[in-house]
Amino acid sequence: MSDIPYKIYLDENEMPQAWLNLQACLPEPLDPMLNPQTKQPVSAADMEPVFCHEAVLQEFNTTDKFIPIPQSVRDFYVMYRPSPLVRAYNLEKYLQTPAEIYYKFEGTNTSGSHKLNSAVAQAYFAKQQGLTSLTTETGAGQWGTALSMACGFYDLKLTVFMVKVSSEQKPYRKAVMETYGAKVIPSPSETTQIGRQILREHPGTGGSLGCAVSEAMEVALHTENCRYALGSVMNHVILHQTIIGLECQKAMQKYDIYPDVVVGCIGGGSNFGGLIAPFAVDKIAGEREVRLLAVEPASCPSLTRGKFAYDFGDTGRMTPLMKMYTLGSGFIPSPSHAGGLRYHGMNPIVSKLYNMGYIDAVSYSQLKVFEAAKLFARLEGYLPAPESSHAIRAAIDEAVKCREKGEKKRILVGVTGTGYFDLAAYQAYNSGSMEDGQLSEEELRSGLAGVPKV
Amino acid sequence: MSDIPYKIYLDENEMPQAWLNLQACLPEPLDPMLNPQTKQPVSAADMEPVFCHEAVLQEFNTTDKFIPIPQSVRDFYVMYRPSPLVRAYNLEKYLQTPAEIYYKFEGTNTSGSHKLNSAVAQAYFAKQQGLTSLTTETGAGQWGTALSMACGFYDLKLTVFMVKVSSEQKPYRKAVMETYGAKVIPSPSETTQIGRQILREHPGTGGSLGCAVSEAMEVALHTENCRYALGSVMNHVILHQTIIGLECQKAMQKYDIYPDVVVGCIGGGSNFGGLIAPFAVDKIAGEREVRLLAVEPASCPSLTRGKFAYDFGDTGRMTPLMKMYTLGSGFIPSPSHAGGLRYHGMNPIVSKLYNMGYIDAVSYSQLKVFEAAKLFARLEGYLPAPESSHAIRAAIDEAVKCREKGEKKRILVGVTGTGYFDLAAYQAYNSGSMEDGQLSEEELRSGLAGVPKV
C-alpha cells in the first residue's frame, strides 16, 4: 500500500469557507429561465414570494466565483463534516486494478445523504430573513429528513408534504421528521386547494412529487413569513453542494494528487454538480484534463436520451421554463425503478456543461447497479444508497478498463448516501425479484412529446 | 468557544495498535466461571469447542495489560474508525452549563453501532484458525448485522438465528444481513434439535434470545470448522470494545484534557467496559479521580437493583455460572421496553469494579430517556439509539448539576449507535403512546428468586 491513508480528513481550520459558484465560471452564460406565459426572462423579484431572499440572490449570481459560507452554516457543517474521503483499497485489490479509487461518502449524517448540505443553508437563510416557517415536499424522504433536521436546529416550523404512497410505505421516515419537529402531511391532502382538487379528480390516488410540490408552494405563498425550499435542480442548491467537491479537492491536495476521472450519480444534478465543481472549473480554464462522468439510471436517462430544450421543472407545469436536458415534464420512470434519480429534467448548469462537451454521461440498468452495490458493501463496509450505486458501478467499470489497459488512473467517486432506507430494494435484489428497469422507445417518445415548443 | 474543535479525529498513525486488557489491571482477580454440574472452574479447553481459539485465550488472559490488535483487524477498523469524538457545543449552550460535554459516536458505520468492533475481531480469529463458518443469534439485529459485515469481508459463512418476532418486525434488518451474505433463520426453527423441541412444546412462539443462543450453539457444535460468536457480556468482547475508550483517551490527550466524568449506557457491559477501560485503569492505579457512571434502564436494572451472585448467562441455563450482578436468568424486561439493554446479567469485570466501588450506576425510565434523545437529535444532529440515549440523559443531568454548582467539569459520553433502526420507538414516544417502563417489586422478586444457590 502507498502512503495515502484509508481516510483523508480535514481539520476544522482546513474546511472550505466559501462555496464555489459554478455559474460564474461557465464558458458561456446560461439561457435565462422564462415565464411560460410571456416567454420573458424571469427576474429575481418574480421568485422572492416563493423562495428565501438569499437563495434567490444566489440563483441569479453570475459574477462571484466564491460565495462565503455563513459562520452559522459552517458551525452546523462541522457537526457532520468533513465527510470521509476514503481510499477504496479493498475494492482496488479485489478488482486487481492499477487504478486508485477514492470515494467521498455523504451518508454518515442522520439524514443519510448529501441533502443536508443545502438544507442547512436554506434554513439558515430563512431564519436570517426573519421567516418563521418553511414548506417542502419529499418523495422517498431524504430531503424532507434533511430539512427537518435543519429546521429543528434553527427553530423554524416546517411542513413537509410527503407523497402519500411513500408516507405509507416508509412510516419511519415520517417518524424521523416528526422527531425533529416537522409536520408531515401525506399528499394530496385536504389542507390545500390544489390538494382538494386533485382528490376530487383522482379519488384514492397515491400522489406524486409534482402534486406535493404544488401543495408545498401553495402553502408557502399563502402563509405569512413562510417560504418554500427545494432540495435539488436549482443553481443555489448546486452551490451549497459544492462543499462536497471542495472538500475532495482540499483533501487530495494534502497528498498532492488530482483525479483523472470524477464519477457521480445524477438525478436533478445537485450532488453531481457539487462534486465536480472545482474540477470542472479547472477543466473550463484549460488547466486540467479530467473526465467528468455523470451516471444515470437507464430507466430515467435525461442526459443520455433526453432533449436539450426549454421545459417545465414540474409535472404540474407551474414553474418557469428552464433550458435543460429533459425527458418531458410528464415523464414518470417505471415503478420498478429503485431509489431517487427519477427526475425528468436536469439542472441548467450541468445541462450546459454536458451540451458543451465538458461532461460525459452513461446510463446503467439496475441489476448491474445492485451487483456493484453488494460488492462495495462487502468490501468497503458502507451499504450504499441505490442512487450512489450507479456511480460505484461506473467507477468499477472504469477501474476494470484501467486493468485491461494497464493505466494507473485516479478515480474519484461520489457516494451520496446510505442504503439503510432502501432495504426493500435490496431485498428484491437478493430474492431475484428485481426488474432490470430498461426504458422502452415508446415510453421515451411519449415523454419527449410533452416538451413544449418555445 | 474555546480552541477545542467540534470533532477530534485521530490520524491513522495515531490509532491505537493494541487493545487494553482490563482483566489484567483489576485490583482483585475475578471469581472463576464454574461448571454448573461440578461447581469446578471452567477451563479454556472446556470452551474451545464453542468459541474461536483466540477469543478463548483472551477470555482467560489475566496477565497482559495490552494485547496487540492484528494488522488485518486494524485495516478493517480504519475503514470506519476512528469514530468521531464530538464536543457538544450546541448542547452545552442550550443547557447554559459551564461543563464541557464530549460524546463519542459509534453509529456512523453501516451496522449502526459499536458492535462491529468485536465482530471484526472475532471473524478475523475464525479465519485465521482456518474455520469456514460462524453462527450467532441476534435480537434487534445490531450484532447480527455487524457480524454479517465482518463475515462478508473475511469470506466466512454465517448463520444468524434471529428471534422470530424480531425477524417479522424488522424485515429490513434481515435484508441487510442477507446483502452481506449471511443466512438468517427465524428462531425457533426446524433446523435444530432444540428448535424442534421448543416448537413442539410452544407452538406459535415468537422466540427469545435465549432460545436463539441455544440453536446457534447447537449448530456450531455439530458443524465442522464452525464456532459460535457472542456480541456482549464476555471479557474478550469488552477487550475489543476498548478501542472506543482508547481513541477517546488519545484524542483528548491531543488537547491535554481528561474527563472528570465518563458516562455510558449499560446492558451486558461491553460498550461501557470498553469506553471506561483506560480511565478505569488510571483510577485503579490511584492516578486519577474520575467518576465512571453506568446508566441502565429502570426496566432492567441489573446493577442498581440486582444481586452480586453466581448465575447463568442464558435463559436456557446452558452456560457456565458467572459471578456477576444479575436479576435472575429467567428475568425478562417488560415488553414496553425499547431498544437493547435488556440483559438480565452483567459482564464479570464490570460487576467486580462496581462491587468494589470504582463504578457508579443510575437508572432511568424511558420517557425521560426519549426526552433527552429528541433534544440531542435536534441540537447535535445525530439521532441516537434508545440505548445510547440513557447515557445522554445522565450526561445532561450531570451538566445541569454543574450549572447549579458552577462546576466546570468535563463529561465524556459514549453514544453507541444510531436510532435509525428504532423509529417505531420514536414514533411511540412522539405520539404519546410510550409507557414509562418501571419495574415492579413483584417482577424483581420473581426474577431474583431464580438465582441459583452456589
CA distance A417 to chain B (A): 11
CA distance A181 to A187: 19
SS3 track for chain B: CCCCCCEECCCHHHCCCEEECHHHHCCCCCCCCECCCCCCECCHHHHCCCCCHHHHHHHCCCCCCEEECCHHHHHHHHHHCCCCEEECHHHHHHHCCCCEEEEEECCCCCCCECCHHHHHHHHHHHHHCCCCEEEEEECCCHHHHHHHHHHHHHCCEEEEEEEHHHHHHCHHHHHHHHHCCCEEEEECCCCCHHHHHHHHHCCCCCCCHHHHHHHHHHHHHCCCCEEECCCCCCHHHHHHHHHHHHHHHHHHHHCCCCCCEEEEECCCCHHHHHHHHHHHHHHHCCCCCCEEEEEEECCCCHHHHCEEEEEECCCCCCCCEEEEEECCCCCCCCCCCCCCCCCCCCCHHHHHHHHCCCCEEEEECHHHHHHHHHHHHHHHCCCECHHHHHHHHHHHHHHHHHHHHCCCCEEEEEECEECHHHHHHHHHHHHCCCCCCCCCHHHHHHHHCCCCCC
Q: Does B80 touch chain A (CB under 8 A)?
A: yes
Residue tagged 441489476 (cell numbers): A367
Tell me if chain B has a CB within 8 Å of the CB of A93. no
Q: Do residues B280 and B292 touch, judged by C-beta distance below 8 A?
A: yes
What pLDDT, on a 0 to 100 scale, did the predictor assign at position B211? 85
Helices (H), A9-70: 44-47, 53-59
pLDDT at B284 > cutoff 90: yes
Lowest mean pLDDT among A338-342, A358-362, B226-230, B328-332: A338-342
- Decide if pLDDT at A345 tops 90: yes
Cβ of B377 and A110 within 8 Å?
yes
Average pLDDT over residues A98-104: 98
Is residue A162 within 8 Å of residue A184, measured between CB atoms?
yes
Q: Strand, coil or helix: what is A264? A: strand
Q: Identify whether B29 is preceded by a cis peptide bond (ω within 30 of 0).
A: no
Question: If pLDDT is split at 50, 70 and 90, which confidence band does B2 have?
Answer: low
Q: For residue B282, with 0-12 CB atoms within 10 Å meaning exposed, 13-18 middle and 19 or more buried, which class applies?
A: middle
C-alpha cell at B46: 472446556
Distance (Å, rounded) from C-alpha B450 to C-alpha B329? 7
Confidence of residue A2 (pLDDT cuts 50, 70, 90): low
CA angle B28, B31, B34 (to 5 degrees): 165
Query: What's the one-letter identity of residue A211?
Result: C
Question: Closest to A110 (Cβ–Cβ): which among B86, B379, B382?
Answer: B382
In this complex, the residue of A80, A89, A382 whose CB is nearest that of residue B110 is: A382
Here the cell at position A128 is 436570517
A172 with B427: Cβ contact below 8 A: yes
B382–A109: do the CB atoms touch at under 8 Å?
yes
Compute the mean pLDDT over every residue in chain B, rounded to the nearest whole number: 94
Q: Quick one: pLDDT at residue A205?
A: 86
Contact A90 B79 (CB under 8 A): yes
Tell me how far apart the alpha carbons of residues A222 and A240 are, in angstroms, rounded to a whole number.
Answer: 27
DSSP letters along A380-440, please?
HS--B-HHHHHHHHHHHHHHHHHHHHT---EEEEEE-BBSGGGHHHHHHHHHT-----PPP
The grid coordinates of residue B266 equal 449499560
Q: Name the residue facing A381 among B11, B149, B174 (closest C-beta).
A: B149
- Tell me whether strands B226-228 and B133-138 are parallel, antiparallel or unpaired: parallel
Q: Give A148's DSSP letter.
A: H
**Whether the predicted pLDDT of B315 surpasses 80:** no
CA distances from residue A198 to A166, A195, A320, A438, B444 in whole angstroms, order as listed: 17, 5, 22, 30, 57
Whats the size of chain B, residue-wise?
Answer: 454
Distance of CA A400 to the CA centre of its chain: 27
pLDDT(A121) > 60: yes
- Cα distances (angstroms) measured from residue A107 to each of A82, A112, B288: 12, 4, 38
Name the residue among B76, B180, B378 with its Cβ closest to that of A152: B378
Q: Which of A277-286, A386-395, B4-13 comes out lowest in average pLDDT?
A: B4-13
Residue B85 CB coordination number (10 Å):
23
Assign A330 a pLDDT band (cuts: 50, 70, 90).
confident
Q: Residue B301 is placed in which grid cell?
A: 436494572
What's chain A's length in residues?
Answer: 454
> Of A139, A140, A102, A142, nearest to A118 (Cα)?
A142
Q: Does B424 touch chain A (CB under 8 A)?
A: yes
The single-letter DSSP state of residue A83 is: P
A123 contacts in chain B (CB < 8 Å): none
B423 at the A interface (CB within 8 A)?
A: yes
How many alpha carbons fall within 13 Å on the CB side of residue A362? 18
Task: Tell me the pLDDT tens digit for each residue of A19-68.
Answer: 999 999 999 999 999 999 999 999 999 999 999 999 999 999 999 999 99
When pLDDT is cut at 50, 70 and 90, the band that residue B278 belongs to is very high
pLDDT above 50 for B336 = yes
| Mean pLDDT, rounded, for A187-191 | 95
Instruction: Give the rounded distance of the alpha carbon of A248 from its chain centre.
Output: 17
> What are the angstrom distances between the C-alpha of A46 and each of A52, A319, A347?
12, 11, 19
- Cβ of A381 within 8 Å of Cβ of B153? The answer is yes
- Do residues A174 and A151 lie in contact, with contact meaning Cβ atoms separated by under 8 Å? no
E strand spans, A314-371: 321-326, 360-364
User: A350, exposed or middle or buried, with CB in 10 Å at 0-12, 13-18, 19+?
Assistant: buried
pLDDT score of A339: 76
A168, containing H or E segment: helix A164-169
B348 Cβ contact partners less than 8 Å away, ≥ 6 residues apart: B30, B31, B33, B235, B322, B323, B324
From chain B, the residues in CB contact with A101 under 8 A are none
- Give the pLDDT mean for A74-78: 94
- B73, B382 contact by CB (below 8 A): no
What φ, ψ does residue B119 adopt, rounded to 5°? -60, -45
Residue B1: per-residue pLDDT: 42
- Residue A176 · residue A145 · CB < 8 Å: yes
The pLDDT value recorded for residue A295 is: 98
Smallest Cβ–Cβ distance between A381 and the set B79, B175, B378 belongs to B79
Q: Which of B179, B427, B430, B434 best tests the A interface by mutation, with the highest count of A CBs <10 A?
A: B179
Residue B344: pLDDT above 70? yes
Exposure on the CB side of residue A248, measured as CA atoms within 13 A? 32
Q: Say whether A66 sits in a helix, a strand or coil.
A: strand
Q: Which residue has the higher pLDDT, A7 or B25?
A: B25
**Structure confidence at residue B339 (pLDDT):** 76
Question: In degrees, to the nearest 5, what angle opens at C-alpha A236 toward C-alphas A233 and A238?
Answer: 60
| Contact (CB<8Å) B153/A378 | yes
Cell numbers for A296: 444515470
Neighbours of A256 (CB within 10 A): 6
Distance of CA A278 to the CA centre of its chain: 17
Other residues' Cβ atoms within 10 Å of the Cβ of residue A306: 26
So what's the pLDDT on residue A12?
86
A196-200, A279-283, B102-106: which range is least confident on average? A196-200
Grid cell of A171 as nine digits: 412510516
Rounded distance, CA B160 to CA B154, Å? 16
The fraction of chain B above a pLDDT of 90, given in percent, is: 84
Distance from the A208 Cα atom to the nearest Cα atom in chain B, whole angstroms: 25
pLDDT tens, A201-252?
Answer: 989 888 888 889 889 999 999 999 999 999 999 999 999 999 999 999 999 9
Q: Are B15 and B74 a contacting pair, CB within 8 Å?
A: yes
- Answer yes or no: are the C-beta atoms of B321 and B454 closer than 8 Å: yes
Task: Output the average pLDDT for chain A.
Answer: 94
Nearest to B110 among A5, A80, A383 (CB): A383
Cβ of B180 within 8 Å of Cβ of A378? The answer is yes
Separation CA B93–CA B1 (nearest Å): 10
* Chain-chain contact of B378 with A181 (C-beta, under 8 angstroms): yes
Closest-CA distance of chain B to residue A175, Å: 5
Of all helices (H) and strands (E), which one includes residue A187? strand A183-187
pLDDT digits (tens, 9 = 90+) for B67-115: 999 999 999 999 999 999 999 999 999 999 999 999 999 999 999 999 9
Mean pLDDT of A180-194: 96
Above 50 in pLDDT, residue A1? no
Share of chain A above pLDDT 70, in %: 100
Task: Calculate the alpha carbon distances from A283 to A286, A326, A355 in Å.
Answer: 5, 25, 15
Closest CA to B136 of B224, B214, B239: B214
Q: What is the pLDDT of residue B166?
A: 85
